[in-house]
Amino acid sequence: MNFLPQVIPDIVLIKPTLHGDDRGYFAETFRQDLFNNAIGRNINFIQDNESKSSKGVLRGLHYQVAPYSQSKLVRVIQGAVMDVVVDIRKSSSTFGQHLSFELTSNNKHQLFVPEGFAHGFVVLSDIATFSYKVDSYYAPEHERGIAYNDKELKINWQLKSKILKLSNKDSINPTLANSQDLFD
């Protein structure tokens, strides 16, 4: 596995090593010791989640606040998504900045998203199956969101807004400037 730190500190792109032949391939998708060493701290993932969505479905930008804040390790099993992280750590020199990554079943890339970041993705393929590990259980009363179309963030979701499909909850998220529960 190759662990590639990104320009926003604490975000790490992971490229697994594929061992393949005419029968297919094999890849380690997670190994606790290598992962913790690469990110420089111990993360204990306690739950795996999976979602399946059609083209244009946008999920996010989501995060959970203390005491249920979450770090995530995300990947695509089928299809392709544009995955986005936004730094919402008020004391960070990269506060309000975002990074985008195309995660696909072909490139097998994974992304580590630590607590202190809002996270979302939009489906670029006809169907996508998205998988992620979290280090804290889902707690609806601690869930928050930021508007996917916040003009200050200038996120290019790679799809026209007319074909985006949002949940009711995601369609009313506040802008980053109007968000109350950010990380210090």
Q: State yes or no: is 19 an active-site residue.
A: no
Catalytic one of 62, 98, 109, 119: 62
Domain that holds residue 104: 47-171
Catalytic one of 109, 119, 132, 148: 132
Tokens 């393929």 sit on residue: 125
What is the pLDDT at residue 156?
94
Q: Determine, yes or no, domain membership for 159.
A: yes
**Residue 168 backbone phi and psi in degrees, to 5:** -60, -40
Q: State yes or no: is 62 an active-site residue.
A: yes
* Tally of structural domains, the chain: 1
pTM metric for this prediction: 0.94
* Bigger pLDDT: 137 vs 162: 137
Q: What is the CATH number for 157?
A: 2.60.120.10
Q: Determine, yes or no, domain membership for 121.
A: yes
Rounded Cα distance, 54 and 128, in Å: 6
Q: Determine, yes or no, domain membership for 20.
A: no
Q: Determine, yes or no, domain membership for 24.
A: no
pLDDT at 160 over 80: no
Tens digits of residue pLDDT in 44-77: 999 999 999 999 999 999 999 999 999 999 999 9
Give the model's confidence band at 184: pLDDT under 50 very low, under 70 low, under 90 confident, else very high: confident
The closest alpha carbon to 156, from 74, 92, 99, 114, belongs to 99
Mean pLDDT of 30-38: 95
Mean pLDDT of 132-145: 96
Q: Determine, yes or no, domain membership for 70.
A: yes
Tens digits of residue pLDDT in 5-19: 999 999 999 999 999
Q: Determine, yes or no, domain membership for 36.
A: no
pLDDT at 162 over 90: no
Q: Determine, yes or no, domain membership for 8.
A: no
The closest alpha carbon to 41, from 29, 51, 33, belongs to 33
Q: Determine, yes or no, domain membership for 75.
A: yes
